[in-house]
Structure 1
Amino acid sequence: MQFTGTEHYIADKDLMVAVNAAIRLERPLLVKGEPGTGKTELARQVAESLGLRLIEWNVKSTTKAQQGLYEYDAVSRLRDSQLGDERVHDIKNYIRKGKLWEAFDSGEKVVLLIDEIDKADIEFPNDLLQELDRMEFHVYETNETVKAKVRPIVIITSNNEKELPDAFLRRCFFHYIRFPDADTLARIVEVHYPGIKKRLLSEALSRFFEIRDMSGLKKKPSTSEALDWIRLLVADDVEPETLAASDKNALPKLHGALLKNEQDVHLFERLAFMARREMR
């Protein structure tokens, strides 16, 4: 079982090594990187490449680790008991399986994505240590132990919003997805927009990296934002010469796809104003 990327996902050598090492070690793959660098998409493409089903657990700030295992709906059971419903005699009717249970209970190998684990409480990763390590957990309400029939490939993503516990990190294979260089980003763009004009792509990426390298930006534009921006340039039939001639301190054309807060917009406006004053 070897991941070599797909025609829809450009994976560099280090990333492919990390995925395959995690599979061989049978450890979760912890993937960090800037938002928009393809961490979530990696899990989808690993599943597609290996012909496996993908189970996604999207973590939120309110998510608890227990929800990934199961939830006991005591309120529904109480209501049904008051209504005289026969279902109340079997507690299993009120056990809701979580994503980990779904993955463990599958009769075949699956890819389990735990997406944006750093959004949850700091105790969330610690609460999953034993389950991810032993690939089993106990259901106290029914006194049964759920064990993984086939060990899933576990991919965990983090945007680095908070530090993860050392005990959790020790159990993972780690990879940081670096922001792609110009050549790699060009290949990514060509995958999404085959047939794009070479000159337009070259000028767009040149302008994009100028923006990313600008000092003082609160949020640098990501890969996904570059793709959105270039899509708009293609749709508006923007000429490469227009991008080449633009002032690097001026607001970029269709800047709403790249700049996502007023502080960065104001930065460009101030730089453009100062440049005009110096020309007088």
Structure 2
Amino acid sequence: MSFSSTDTYIVSNALQLAVDAAVALEKPLLLKGEPGTGKTRLAQELARSMDTELLHWSIKSTTKAQQGLYEYDAVSRLRDSQLGSDKVHDIANYIKPGKLWQAFTAKQRPVLLIDEVDKADIEFPNDLLHELDQMAFHVYETGETVTAQQRPIVIITSNNEKALPDAFLRRCFFHFIEFPDEQTLRQIIEVHYPNIQQQLVTEALDLFVQIRELPRLKKKPSTSELLDWLKLLLLDPPKPGQLREWMSDEQRQSLYGALLKHEEDFPQLRYLRQG
């Protein structure tokens, strides 16, 4: 297979090659990059381009690797036993397949997204090593072994909140999504707003890039936040060549809230160069 840009998602040549390489090597693709650079969206668009199922496993601080395999509901079994239900004689009634189980048994090769793996405990990635290597796991309660009918395409995202174990990294194909250059940003904007005036795009990108370059920002605005800001601008577009003046209006300055997410960052706007 060869993944490329779609009608709703622009992918760089480097990212396209990384997807193809991970698939060819049959290794999970580990994606890092600034929040908002499209890591999660990549898995969604990959599944859509393949016309296959996306299994999205969103990781939290409390997530355990076992939950990706299956969960045994002992409480429900105990309750049914007290009520005299015949269900209790088959323990399989209380086994709930997790996302890996679903991926292993899917009829069509799915895309499995393990999203924000670095949010979990440091041992979480290591706990998945065997299953990702062998594409199989054992269900102790029933004695069965679940083996992948076909190897799913695994996308793993990380925001670098925690370092990942070396043993885990060795088993992945790694790619860092660089922040898009101006040409790519223009392509992304064109996909989302095909009829937007190019003069507005030019002015907005110039101001956006300057904001990202401001010193000591706690969080630089991302691509998704640029798109949000443009959506607001299109509701009441400024006249050509007047975006900076239009945004300097005291009431409209609150629109910078689409780009800046910390109150400490707003005073930095005074350092913007004049157009």
TM tier relative to shorter chain: over 0.9
Match of 1:256 in 2: 257
Q: Aligned-pair distance for 1:267?
A: 3.1
- The answer to whether the aligner puts 1:46 opposite 2:46 as a matched pair is yes
Q: Aligned-pair distance for 1:241?
A: 2.2
Q: CA RMSD in A?
A: 1.8
Query: 1:229 corresponds to which letter in structure 2?
Result: W
User: In the TM superposition, what are the counterparts of 1:51-200 in structure 2 within 5 Å?
Assistant: 51-200=51-200
- Unaligned runs of at least 5 residues, structure 1: 276-280
User: In the TM superposition, what are the counterparts of 1:264-279 in structure 2 within 5 Å?
Assistant: 264-268=265-269
Contact (CA 8 Å) 1:138, 1:145: kept in 2 or not?
Answer: yes
- The structure-2 alpha-carbon separation of the partners of 1:5 and 1:46, relative to structure 1 and needing over 3 Å to count, comes to same
- Unaligned runs of at least 5 residues, structure 2: none
Match of 1:278 in 2: none
Determine the C-alpha separation between the residues in 2 that align with 1:253 and 1:84.
62
Query: 1:122 corresponds to which letter in structure 2?
Result: I
SS of residue in 2 equivalent to 1:156:
strand
Between Structure 1 and Structure 2, how many residues are aligned?
A: 271
Q: Report Cα offsets for 1:111-137 as digits up to 9, x if no partner.
A: 001111111111110000000111000
Determine the C-alpha separation between the residues in 2 that align with 1:19 and 1:261.
34
- The answer to whether the aligner puts 1:27 opposite 2:27 as a matched pair is yes
Determine the C-alpha separation between the residues in 2 that align with 1:240 and 1:260.
27
- The structure-2 alpha-carbon separation of the partners of 1:34 and 1:59, relative to structure 1 and needing over 3 Å to count, comes to same
Match of 1:204 in 2: 204
Q: Report Cα offsets for 1:3-44 as digits up to 9, x if no partner.
A: 122111111111000000001111000000000000000001
Q: TM-score, normalised by structure 1?
A: 0.93
Determine the C-alpha separation between the residues in 1 that align with 2:244 and 2:131.
54
Q: TM-score, normalised by structure 2?
A: 0.94
Query: 2:165 corresponds to which letter in structure 1?
Result: P
Regions of 4+ moved over 6 Å: none
State the identity as a percent: 62
Q: Aligned-pair distance for 1:266?
A: 3.3
SS of residue in 1 equivalent to 2:56:
strand
Q: Aligned-pair distance for 1:253?
A: 6.2
Contact (CA 8 Å) 1:135, 1:148: kept in 2 or not?
Answer: yes
Q: Report Cα offsets for 1:227-246 as digits up to 9, x if no partner.
A: 00011101122223222447
Determine the C-alpha separation between the residues in 2 that align with 1:268 and 1:44.
35
Determine the C-alpha separation between the residues in 2 that align with 1:82 and 1:88.
10
Determine the C-alpha separation between the residues in 2 that align with 1:233 and 1:240.
12
Query: 2:257 corresponds to which letter in structure 1?
Result: G
